[in-house]
Amino acid sequence: MGRWSQAKRASGPVTLINFITEAVDNTTLLIDLTYQSSVAAGSFAAASFVSNPSAFVAQTVAQVSSRVIRISFLGSIAADTSLTYSGTVPGILTPQTVNH
């Protein structure tokens, strides 16, 4: 067998990592996050999302559609410019920071 066969046999399956493609302020207390593929809001811990530079921690995560979740905050995030996700959901890119 040549190198290709050995390399092909030695490599495992390709694991796709899901990631945020868009973050849109819905109101001064909400951000809608669109993912590259389907996600389940119930898989995410709200505390895994932090708005910057205020450092407000998210309070809830709700399902909007198969690829969109809504993150809510107790304080206004209108002056914030980014959101960081640092969580443990399998198959989700972490940490990830997106502008909003």
Question: What percent of the chain shows pLDDT beyond 90?
Answer: 84
**Cα–Cα distances in Å, from 34 out to 5, 14, 39, 87?**
39, 23, 9, 16
Cβ contacts of residue 11 below 8 Å, gap of 6+?
Answer: none
Please say if the pLDDT value at position 37 is more than 60: yes
Per-residue pLDDT, averaged over 55-64, amounts to 98
Please say if the pLDDT value at position 31 is more than 80: yes
Please say if the pLDDT value at position 84 is more than 60: yes
- What pLDDT, on a 0 to 100 scale, did the predictor assign at position 46? 98
Q: Which domains can be identified in the chain, with CATH numbers?
A: 16-99 (2.60.40.1220)
CB atoms near residue 88 (< 10 Å) = 10
- What pLDDT, on a 0 to 100 scale, did the predictor assign at position 85? 98
The predicted model scores a pTM of 0.85
